Structure 1
Amino acid sequence: MQVYKFGGASVKDAQSIKNVASILQKMGYKNTLIVISAIGKTTNALELVIHNYFENKSQLQSSLQEIKKFHNEIILDLFTNENHDVFKKVNVFFRELNQFLISNKSPDYNFVYDQIIGFGELLSTIIISEYLNLRGLNNNWVDVREHIKTDNYYRRAQVNWNKTQQLISSTFNTSVLNITQGFIGSDSNNFTTTLGREGSDYTAAIYAYCLNAEQVTIWKDVPGVLNADPRYFENAQLLNNMSYREAIELAFYGASVIHPKTLQPLQGKEIPLYVKSFLNPQDNGTKISKNSLLNPIIPCFIVKRNQVLISLSSVNFSYIVEENISTIFSLLHQYKMKVGVIQNSAISFSVCIENNYNTLEELLHQLKSKFKVVCNQNVSLYTIRHYNQMAINKIETDKTVLLKQLTQETVQIVTI
């Protein structure tokens, strides 16, 4: 069994979808599961629908129509028969989405977000499934929500592994080509949940674990795992091999090529992960496996922008000790802040966080009742694995450094 994952960039338009079929024909698709993200920028477009649902009802239908138009144009490029079943199947999903927008009574943003955002993956997979059938690659369309069960922590749901393993083991047909959605699952009430942004990689790993897959391949618009994001760093280099541990470290610090949760289930069963280019599918790409040494050993750069640096100090110059730190972390958890780096001294405590849930003001209000607070917004957090002084100089040049922390293999620098 092998698992392929195609992200939004690899299915961004009709030509890209045709390329998916070509990759399968070249690389083989026997005993294969394909996990697919939403087409192109559909997730962003659905986020606009969600925004309009809450904030700008007059633009709600127009934003929805833009998504429908975009998908219909792709379908028309792929299917010459205007009576093909794909049109009906896509329209069913749009009717379901519209019905939810009309009938929903919940004011919970995170719940609404998850019920709407997953339609991107449902639409992409039904279109691609029908196109592969048209090309002679007969396949079985699978609703991932019938397999991956989670709690109801909407937008960052935790997988119920026992239930998920049971459902996949008892209902999954491994003898055919299967296609399913990344990123989404469902809770015990069958409401849609999501696994976090970029969660399609994680979906592939969940299926691979439960199916005892031989390997997982993530298809990207880059040659493999690079030592830096080419959007932000020049002369990024391909990393040919690395261990699970190294990849987990990079993912933890925010390397965008791999979802932070993806590697843990793969490591548990020693399933190798390949990251390859969908433009050059026969190139080697990057292999991530057990006890594989980083090759080449060079500094690896990660940047996370739009971060928040909060610096706390005690009101009466007393020590920041375990009780204070416990309070701080309790508040960070309560307001769903993702922590990037922490640093503390006798009377101060600094933390760099992501304000993904827009709860910063509430958090600051609570912190100011207990500490002196300095808050810097829109800072950048740089992480360098296997750093050297030249790599540090590259980051610090022409920037103001607010925080710097070094360990044996990693340096983290917060700048404005």
Structure 2
Amino acid sequence: MRVFKFGGASVKDGDAVRNVVRVLQEVGYKDTLVVISAMGKTTNAMENVVECYFNDKNGINAAIQEVADYHNGILVNLFENPKHPIYGQVKDLFDEVKGFLVWNKSPKYGFVYDQVVGYGELLSTTIISAYLNEVGLVNTWLDVRNLIKTDNTYRDAQVNWERTQQEVAAKIDRSKLNITQGFLGSDDNNFTTTLGREGSDYTAAILAYCLNAESVTIWKDVPGVLNADPRNFDTAQLLEQISYREAIELAFYGASVIHPKTLQPLQRKEIPLHVKSFLNPKDMGTTVGKGIGIVPKVPCFIVKKNQVLLKLSSLDFSFIVEDNISEIFKLLADHRLKVDLIQNSAISFSVCLDNKFKGLPLLLEELKKKFKVVCHEDVSLFTIRHFDDDAVKSLQNGKSVLVEQRGKETVQLVVK
């Protein structure tokens, strides 16, 4: 059995949904499980509903109506008959969202988030399943919450692999075209859980693992995995093959390749992962698999912008040793700053950080009590895997390099 995953961009409107049909017709859909994300930017719009629930009760109805109007526009584009049952099915899903927000008594943000935001995937798969049936691609709609069982760590649920394996074995007919949701699971009380952002790719990997699938294909709007983000680099080129290990390394350094969580279950059963273009489905794309290194072996560029570089030194020129480093890392964890690079000497310690949770001001207050602190905000962290001298020079050109760190395969530069 094959597992396909279509993300939000690939199902963002009526034409995109028709293109999914074209892809399935071109590459075949027998013995296939299709995992589908919420349409377009629906997840962001549903997050806005949750924000209104907690902070602006008067705005809830307008926020929900915005999502409803968007999906109704897609329905009108796809289904000519205004009395088609799909209109009632979609209305029922929105009524469920509204009903939950009325009867819910839980004050926990994570719980409410999962119960509300998960409707994005339920809407997209309900619409697409109905449209596929309409055009002759007979399929079975599956509620993934009955398949993937998790704990109740809302917004970042952990999979119960044994129960999930049992449910998948019992409830998926491998001989059919099956449509299901990404991102979602359910806990022991059958409340919806979510697997974290980028969770739809992980969903595909979980189901492939439990099905002993032949392969997983992630359909994207790019030709495959590139050696650099084309928004930042003019010379990005396609990587034809990448090993699981290499893909995990790239993801660790911040490449938006594939999340390591997605790769781990596939690696355990050596299930190949294909990343292909939904615009040109017959093109080769990229294959991630066992022990095939990286082809072609070219430098891979990763950039993380809006970083913070802290340079710490002891006030009395004493060594920065284990006790100091332990204390620094505790403060970083307490203020939720993610460490991307560290470099230390006898009396200094440099660290490049991601400040997405805005904990920097309070962190600086604490650090200045014990250390001399130099803070560089709005720096960029460049990582080059499989670097050569030309690749390094291309990044250094015209930039002020604040920190440079080299290993056998990787060089990292913090630049201003």
Q: TM-score, normalised by structure 1?
A: 0.92
Q: Which residue number in structure 2 is paired with residue 302 of structure 1?
A: 302
1:265 partnered with 2:265 = yes
Q: CA deviation at 1:188?
A: 3.2
Q: 1:232–1:144: structure 2 CA closer, same or farther, 3 Å change rule?
A: same
Greater CA drift, 35-44 or 266-275: 35-44
Q: CA deviation at 1:255?
A: 1.7
Code of the residue aligned with 1:263 in structure 2: it is L
1:402 partnered with 2:402 = yes
Greater CA drift, 267-276 or 182-191: 182-191
SS in 2 for 1:102: helix
Q: Distance in 2 between matches of 1:358 and 1:165?
A: 40
Aligned alpha-carbon RMSD (Å) = 2.3
Q: 1:260–1:337: structure 2 CA closer, same or farther, 3 Å change rule?
A: farther
Q: Distance in 2 between matches of 1:46 and 1:117?
A: 5
Q: 1:35–1:367: structure 2 CA closer, same or farther, 3 Å change rule?
A: farther
Q: Which residue number in structure 1 is paired with residue 252 of structure 2?
A: 252
Q: Which residue number in structure 1 is paired with residue 221 of structure 2?
A: 221
Q: CA deviation at 1:88?
A: 1.7
Q: CA deviation at 1:175?
A: 2.2
Computing the radius of gyration from Cα coordinates, the structure with the larger value is 2
Q: Distance in 2 between matches of 1:376 and 1:60?
A: 40
Alignment of 1:1-400 (within 5 A): 1-361=1-361, 363-364=363-364, 367=367, 371-400=371-400
SS in 2 for 1:276: strand
Q: 1:194–1:413: structure 2 CA closer, same or farther, 3 Å change rule?
A: farther
Greater CA drift, 254-263 or 355-364: 355-364
Q: Distance in 2 between matches of 1:333 and 1:97?
A: 35
Residues 157-209 of structure 1: per-residue CA shift (max 9 Å, x gap): 33222232232223322221111111222333333332222221111111111
Q: Distance in 2 between matches of 1:363 and 1:116?
A: 34
Q: Distance in 1 between matches of 2:397 and 2:233?
A: 14
SS in 2 for 1:33: strand
Q: CA deviation at 1:360?
A: 4.6
Code of the residue aligned with 1:295 in structure 2: it is V
Residues 55-86 of structure 1: per-residue CA shift (max 9 Å, x gap): 44443322221111011000111111112221
Q: 1:403–1:289: structure 2 CA closer, same or farther, 3 Å change rule?
A: same
Q: CA deviation at 1:359?
A: 4.6
Code of the residue aligned with 1:7 in structure 2: it is G
Q: 1:191–1:379: structure 2 CA closer, same or farther, 3 Å change rule?
A: farther
Code of the residue aligned with 1:22 in structure 2: it is R
Greater CA drift, 211-220 or 180-189: 180-189
Q: CA deviation at 1:54?
A: 3.3
Q: Distance in 2 between matches of 1:364 and 1:101?
A: 40
Alpha-carbon contact 2:247-2:257 (below 8 Å) kept: no
Code of the residue aligned with 1:74 in structure 2: it is I
Q: Distance in 2 between matches of 1:224 and 1:138?
A: 29
Q: 1:362–1:119: structure 2 CA closer, same or farther, 3 Å change rule?
A: farther
Q: CA deviation at 1:371?
A: 4.6
Code of the residue aligned with 1:303 in structure 2: it is V
Residues 84-143 of structure 1: per-residue CA shift (max 9 Å, x gap): 221122122212222333344444433333333222111111111111111111212122
Q: 1:147–1:322: structure 2 CA closer, same or farther, 3 Å change rule?
A: farther
Q: Distance in 2 between matches of 1:302 and 1:285?
A: 20
